[in-house]
Chains A and B, each alone.
Chain A
Amino acid sequence: MSVPDYMQCAEDHQTLLVVVQPVGIVSEENFFRIYKRISSVSQISVRDSQRVLYIRYRHHYPPDNNEWGDFQTHRKVVGLITITDCLAAQDWPQTFEKFHVQKEIYGSTLYDSRLFVFGLRGEVAEQPRTDVAFYPDYEDCGTVEKRVEDFIESLFIVLESKRLDRATDKSGDKIPLLCVPFEKKDFVGLDTDSSMLLGVKRHYKKRCQGRMRKHVGDLCLQAGMLHDSLVHYHMSVELLRSVNDFLWLGAALEGLCSASVISHYPGGTGGKTGGRRLQGGPLPAEAANRHRPGAQEVLIDPGALTTNGINADTSAEIGRAKNCLSPEDIIDKYKEAISYYSKYKNAGVIELEACVKAVRVLAIQKRSMEASEFLQNAVYINLRQLSEEEKIQRYSILSELYELIGFRRKSAFFKRVAAMQCVAPSIAEPGWRACYKLLLETLPGYSLSLDPKDFSKGTHRGWAAVQLRLLHELVYASRRMGNPALSVRHLSFLLQTMLDFLSDQEKKDVTQSLENYTSKCPGTMEPLTLPDGLTLPPVPFTKLPIVSCSVRMSSEARGAGAVLADRGFSVSRLDFQWVQGDVCEVQLMVYNPMPFELRVENMGLLTSGVDFESLPAALSLPAESGLYPVTLVGVPQTTGTITISGYHTTVFGVCSDCLLDSLPGVKTSGSTVEVIPALPRLQISTSLPRSAHSLQPACGGDETSTNVTVQLYNGETQRLAIKLENIGMQPLETLEVTSKVLTTKDGISISGFPLSSPFRQVVRPRADSKPVHAPESSKTGDFSHVKTLEAILNFKYSGGPGHVEGYYRSISLGLHVEVEPSVFLTRVSTLPATSTRQCHLLLDVFNSTEHELTVSARHNGELILHASECQRMAIQVDKFNFESLPESPGEKGQFANPRQLEEERQEARGLEINSKLDIRWTILSLKRHGEASVEGLRSQLVLEHLQLAPLQWDVLVDGQPCDREAATACSVGDPVRLEVRLTNRSPHSVGPFALTVVPYQDHQNGVHNYNLCDLVSFVGSSTFHLEAVQPSGQSACLGALLFLYSGDFFLHIRFHEDSASKELPPSWFCLPSVHLSALEARA
């Protein structure tokens, strides 16, 4: 016997073996249709008893296995059913002949046989025969099952008669020695009657008895008499043990085990056939009854049975439970049996099958460790040289059995060996499909799934070396199968999930072969479905390149104002908008984990919600690159909410759709951005060159699109023309300009900034450009170092459909001014001038530049200052009437705070003074010029001197106002009219005042002569009275003088002490001195 049946289980010992075979030409389909129907009759309840017969059908059975039928009767073919096609009556005899030939093959062991004839009609088919059944065709054969049942009953009758025959053999009769095929030659010629010694004879007799009892046990078991069989087996064991007939002792022990297993596990151990007992009506209950503890504890004493006769009454209800082995004993006995089998090289198949049976029992008992020992033993049982197919079968079964006992790794190991066996080099036609299928089945054993999602959580932990090997084998097998798409998918999976475990050289090799495959069959994102229903999900290359968590999104900002923001993907809804029709971008930080340059092609965004025209990028990342920014761009074509769910790439010819939620480095599942209707787009350019210098980053998050840097001397003026060009497709309808000076700690400022007023203006796209002047100059109070100041001009604009929806864009221009010191007015003082309406301003001017410069003021000459030189400069200026300054328009009442109001006024005064003085400097060598300001030096004292008093006194001589150096001429002898006029500009009423006019002569030597009564006389009083004057009122008093002699006279007009109000400042009572020149009248 050489062909093991790996599917054997303990229950098979109780079955009758029936072979079903075709005779002549029967199509496989028809044969198996009938075979299936026949096999459905697998158990039969015997009439008038509770016994059940079990049938095992085989359509193929090696006759040399049949020869072991005496050893274990379930190996004996007892029934034969042949199926044949016979269409014509004249063929019938021939067909029938064939049936007989077929019978001959198993002839020695057959109890009975049947022939099922299909297709024959007519006379021949009419004749009733027990051994032949006629059916018109394969459809019309309803009685097949019935015929099979009848057939089995006939088998039973033979079986029962044989059983009874053997069981009632008297001890006196000669018991034949049962043999296995290889034993036969040992006993040839043995004279069992006479020539043997007595001891040998007794020994031989026991052997015969033992073997026969074992045989009867087998028959009982097959005939459904489980407990009889147990008794017979027990006795057989005793007998055979005493004569060391090991092979048959093993068989008896195994029989004992089989019967016990059948008793203990009514569900069956064989997996496929499991549960078949449950079909049998009352049997399960009975079976459960049988091994219920405490039931029927009476022990049959094997010694009580006569050794040479078999008690026919063993079917009585005695000794059931005790004769049955306990679950532990079953295993022990199996072990023992196998150890006996192993003594015989020729019983290899028996040993192997016993191992398999024991493993199945242990699997039911959940004793995996012992089962594995049995399997380990089975692995080492060397049968003859196995064919490749048998090897595959053997490894597959081992794998299945390991699976059965929960050793999934071992199972996977053997399955893989089986798979490799399918394509062994010795096989002429390698079965790559079978190999691939088996390999797929090993995946769970190696904790591998083919879904990349299972590997996206953290680092992969597993048996990388063996997993890699398996994946390589899958790739190779699928390629040899002629399914390149499958190879690409497996190889992609390998690269994606095992990247961390590949050496640099392996990475190169794998990508090289992947590129080779994809050149013929590009990798897709479609799930691949295998013929057996398994679906291979797509493998996106999320690690080639690896995208880090920092993802940046914006509208295209370069050169044009944009609605934009800089946020990570952690904010799921971004607080900025994209504009329809504009190029929008998403920036990803990627890096290349490969040791070579990685070419990523067709990289673009995956979006939904809005029509989005993606503009794919191709990039080449250097080997082991660091973080590398990649900008993916696209144009939204419609408005709405766009969801960015990921990106797509093509790497090594494999297309990947990488969703952000499957990226380990990125936290959210995508971002949504609002796409708003189209807007115009402005481009900004300036007359000054752009600078790379960007403004201090801390300034409020405003991003400036353009920056201008300019270097100026303090007080210098720079004109800056800003050109705005609409480069978008929409008309610009509104434009709003605002500015913002960034606070600098130096306290410097730009004058002429902010722009005078916000304005709106419509600009047609590309029609014209609008220059905006932003004159500026800056002043500092310190004169040591360079100061910088920064400002932002903001242009807010809108137009087109976006304007209708209320959206606008802003663009900003950053100004960065570096201010170098020029001239400083280190000290300012005043001197009164001759006229009360004027005064002298003394300025100490310091040149802090390194160049020679000239300083000029209005009406004055130029002053040349060398580098770091200081000079005093005197300027005669008219006094200022600050009250007359116009209030800043529209700002009245806005500043409720009086202090602000005061500052405002101060500033206005400063400007007034500056403009009056108009001090300018020029650096000739650099051709630079600017103005200097006294603004910073406006002390109260100086201001008071510069300010016109609110009480304005005018003295008129003969109606001529005199307030100057030049003398007013008058003639001697004529009365000279003198008028003192007071204009009150103060907010209060003043006066009354009393004034005295005192004439004097100045001798130009410091002596003033007041004793002039002889020379001058007053017409009327020399004292004038002025009435009280209301605010903005005027008052005047008149008098007259008479000069008696010619000469130069001065008039000093003095207030009476009591009349001058003490609360008013003395400078308010500053009257001009009057210079008169009296001349002889010409006759």
Chain B
Amino acid sequence: MAVCIAVIAKENYPLYIRSIPTENELKFHYMVHTSLDVVDEKISALGKALVDQRELYLGLLYPTEDHKVYGYVTNSKVKFVMVVDSSNTALRDNEIRSMFRKLHNSYTDVMCNPFYNPGDRIHSRAFDSTVTSMMTQVC
């Protein structure tokens, strides 16, 4: 169960960010924002690898006391960042991976919408519900 899910544009500004309402939203903004340093670093390291061999999943970006931050980057350099509760030990790498894939699929659907301007904030009900399902579903 994720506590915060964010989509970050290629230029590193947020396209979408949602967190569980029970906690201070700003905290997650800071968390996701600072995770971008790691994402950038990982991407620049990945940049040397061949494009088709590139793994989109970036793995654990960094742990904090209460949370773990995971990253995922699409080929168009759009980043997905997911924050999960570190107490949730049931969540393994594979689950995180599949959640990112699901998120990626939903994001692709958003991009297919001819009325969506790439680079704008995402206001999509379908995407919202995907995110909601990931934030509530207990894996």
Q: Distance in Å from the Cβ of B78 to the closest Cβ of chain A?
A: 14
Given contacts A376-B62, A466-B29, contact A410 B34 (CB under 8 A): yes
Q: Distance in Å from the Cβ of B92 to the closest Cβ of chain A?
A: 21
Q: Distance in Å from the Cβ of B86 to the closest Cβ of chain A?
A: 13
A465 contacts across to B, CB distance below 8 A: 25-26, 29
User: Cα distance A406–B62 when bound, in Å?
Assistant: 16
| Cβ-based interface call for A462 (8 A) | yes
Among the interface residues A408, A409, A446, which one has the most CB atoms of the partner chain B within 10 A?
A409
Interface range, A side? 20 to 34
Pair A463/B119 contact, Cβ less than 8 Å: no
Given contacts A372-B41, A372-B62, contact A462 B13 (CB under 8 A): yes
Pair B26/A407 contact, Cβ less than 8 Å: no
B41 contacts across to A, CB distance below 8 A: 368-369, 372, 406-407
Given contacts A368-B41, A369-B42, A402-B37, contact A461 B62 (CB under 8 A): no
User: Cα distance A369–B58 when bound, in Å?
Assistant: 12
| Cβ-based interface call for B14 (8 A) | yes
Pair B9/A461 contact, Cβ less than 8 Å: yes
Given contacts A372-B62, A376-B62, A413-B30, contact A463 B37 (CB under 8 A): no
Minimal Cβ-Cβ distance residue in A for B25: A465
B13 contacts across to A, CB distance below 8 A: 447, 461-463
Given contacts A369-B45, A466-B26, contact A413 B34 (CB under 8 A): yes
User: Cα distance A368–B13 when bound, in Å?
Assistant: 22
Interface residues of B in 51-109 (CB under 8 A from A): 62-63, 65
Number of cross-chain contacts by CB at 8 Å:
49
User: Cα distance A368–B41 when bound, in Å?
Assistant: 7
Pair B42/A463 contact, Cβ less than 8 Å: no
Pair B119/A466 contact, Cβ less than 8 Å: no
B25 contacts across to A, CB distance below 8 A: 465
Pair A463/B38 contact, Cβ less than 8 Å: no
Interface residues of A in 363-403 (CB under 8 A from B): 368-369, 372, 376, 380, 402
Interface residues of A in 324-351 (CB under 8 A from B): none
User: Cα distance A447–B26 when bound, in Å?
Assistant: 17
Minimal Cβ-Cβ distance residue in B for A414: B34
B23 contacts across to A, CB distance below 8 A: none
Cross-chain contact of B37 among A406, A446, A466, A469 (Cβ < 8 A): A406
Q: Distance in Å from the Cβ of A901 to the closest Cβ of chain B?
A: 69
B36 contacts across to A, CB distance below 8 A: 409
User: Cα distance A407–B26 when bound, in Å?
Assistant: 20
B38 contacts across to A, CB distance below 8 A: 369, 372, 407
User: Cα distance A369–B46 when bound, in Å?
Assistant: 12
Q: Distance in Å from the Cβ of A463 to the closest Cβ of chain B?
A: 5
Minimal Cβ-Cβ distance residue in A for B63: A376
Binary B-proximity of A420-458 (CB < 8 A = 1, otherwise 0): 000000000000000000000000001100000000000
Q: Distance in Å from the Cβ of B109 to the closest Cβ of chain A?
A: 22
Pair B37/A410 contact, Cβ less than 8 Å: yes
Q: Distance in Å from the Cβ of B110 to the closest Cβ of chain A?
A: 17
B37 contacts across to A, CB distance below 8 A: 372, 402, 406-410
Given contacts A369-B42, A372-B41, A376-B62, contact A461 B119 (CB under 8 A): yes
Interface residues of A in 458-493 (CB under 8 A from B): 461-463, 465-466, 469
A380 contacts across to B, CB distance below 8 A: 65
B26 contacts across to A, CB distance below 8 A: 465-466, 469
Minimal Cβ-Cβ distance residue in A for B12: A447
A413 contacts across to B, CB distance below 8 A: 30, 33-34
User: Cα distance A409–B32 when bound, in Å?
Assistant: 10
Q: Distance in Å from the Cβ of B39 to the closest Cβ of chain A?
A: 10
A410 contacts across to B, CB distance below 8 A: 34, 37
B45 contacts across to A, CB distance below 8 A: 369
Q: Distance in Å from the Cβ of A507 to the closest Cβ of chain B?
A: 19
User: Cα distance A793–B13 when bound, in Å?
Assistant: 63
Q: Distance in Å from the Cβ of B119 to the closest Cβ of chain A?
A: 7
Q: Distance in Å from the Cβ of B66 to the closest Cβ of chain A?
A: 13
Among the interface residues A380, A406, A410, which one has the most CB atoms of the partner chain B within 10 A?
A410
User: Cα distance A463–B45 when bound, in Å?
Assistant: 25
A446 contacts across to B, CB distance below 8 A: 33
User: Cα distance A408–B35 when bound, in Å?
Assistant: 11
Interface residues of B in 12-26 (CB under 8 A from A): 12-14, 25-26
Pair B34/A409 contact, Cβ less than 8 Å: yes
Minimal Cβ-Cβ distance residue in B for A372: B38
B14 contacts across to A, CB distance below 8 A: 463
Q: Distance in Å from the Cβ of A525 to the closest Cβ of chain B?
A: 30
Among the interface residues B30, B45, B62, which one has the most CB atoms of the partner chain A within 10 A?
B30
Interface residues of A in 701-743 (CB under 8 A from B): none
User: Cα distance A588–B94 when bound, in Å?
Assistant: 60
User: Cα distance A376–B34 when bound, in Å?
Assistant: 13
B42 contacts across to A, CB distance below 8 A: 369
Minimal Cβ-Cβ distance residue in A for B31: A413
Minimal Cβ-Cβ distance residue in B for A466: B29
Minimal Cβ-Cβ distance residue in A for B28: A465
Cross-chain contact of B33 among A369, A372, A461, A466 (Cβ < 8 A): A466
User: Cα distance A239–B9 when bound, in Å?
Assistant: 54
A447 contacts across to B, CB distance below 8 A: 12-13
User: Cα distance A407–B36 when bound, in Å?
Assistant: 9
Given contacts A369-B38, A406-B41, A407-B38, contact A463 B33 (CB under 8 A): yes
Among the interface residues B13, B34, B37, B65, which one has the most CB atoms of the partner chain A within 10 A?
B37
B30 contacts across to A, CB distance below 8 A: 413, 466
Minimal Cβ-Cβ distance residue in A for B120: A459
User: Cα distance A469–B29 when bound, in Å?
Assistant: 11
Among the interface residues B14, B33, B38, which one has the most CB atoms of the partner chain A within 10 A?
B33
User: Cα distance A707–B62 when bound, in Å?
Assistant: 77
User: Cα distance A469–B25 when bound, in Å?
Assistant: 12
Interface residues of A in 171-188 (CB under 8 A from B): none
User: Cα distance A406–B12 when bound, in Å?
Assistant: 15
Among the interface residues B9, B14, B25, B41, which one has the most CB atoms of the partner chain A within 10 A?
B41
User: Cα distance A124–B65 when bound, in Å?
Assistant: 64
Q: Distance in Å from the Cβ of A441 to the closest Cβ of chain B?
A: 16
User: Cα distance A1081–B13 when bound, in Å?
Assistant: 134
Q: Distance in Å from the Cβ of A443 to the closest Cβ of chain B?
A: 14
A408 contacts across to B, CB distance below 8 A: 37
User: Cα distance A372–B29 when bound, in Å?
Assistant: 20
Q: Distance in Å from the Cβ of A972 to the closest Cβ of chain B?
A: 118
User: Cα distance A469–B24 when bound, in Å?
Assistant: 13
B62 contacts across to A, CB distance below 8 A: 372, 376
Minimal Cβ-Cβ distance residue in A for B38: A372
A407 contacts across to B, CB distance below 8 A: 34, 37-38, 41
Q: Distance in Å from the Cβ of B11 to the closest Cβ of chain A?
A: 7
Q: Distance in Å from the Cβ of A459 to the closest Cβ of chain B?
A: 9
A402 contacts across to B, CB distance below 8 A: 37
User: Cα distance A996–B92 when bound, in Å?
Assistant: 141
User: Cα distance A372–B61 when bound, in Å?
Assistant: 10
User: Cα distance A407–B40 when bound, in Å?
Assistant: 9
Q: Distance in Å from the Cβ of A404 to the closest Cβ of chain B?
A: 12
Q: Distance in Å from the Cβ of A449 to the closest Cβ of chain B?
A: 15
User: Cα distance A858–B25 when bound, in Å?
Assistant: 99
Q: Distance in Å from the Cβ of B87 to the closest Cβ of chain A?
A: 17
B12 contacts across to A, CB distance below 8 A: 447
User: Cα distance A406–B43 when bound, in Å?
Assistant: 14
Pair B29/A463 contact, Cβ less than 8 Å: yes
A466 contacts across to B, CB distance below 8 A: 26, 29-30, 33
**Extra contacts besides A372-B37, A466-B30 (13): CB < 8 Å:** A369-B41, A376-B62, A376-B63, A407-B34, A409-B33, A409-B34, A410-B34, A447-B12, A447-B13, A461-B13, A462-B13, A465-B25, A466-B26
What are 23 A-B pairs at a CB distance below 8 A?
A: A369-B38, A372-B38, A372-B41, A372-B62, A376-B62, A402-B37, A408-B37, A409-B33, A409-B34, A409-B37, A410-B34, A413-B34, A447-B12, A447-B13, A461-B11, A461-B119, A463-B14, A463-B29, A465-B25, A465-B29, A466-B26, A466-B33, A469-B26
Going nearest first, the 10 A-B pairs with the smallest beta carbon separation are A407-B37, A461-B13, A465-B29, A410-B34, A409-B34, A368-B41, A409-B37, A413-B34, A410-B37, A462-B13
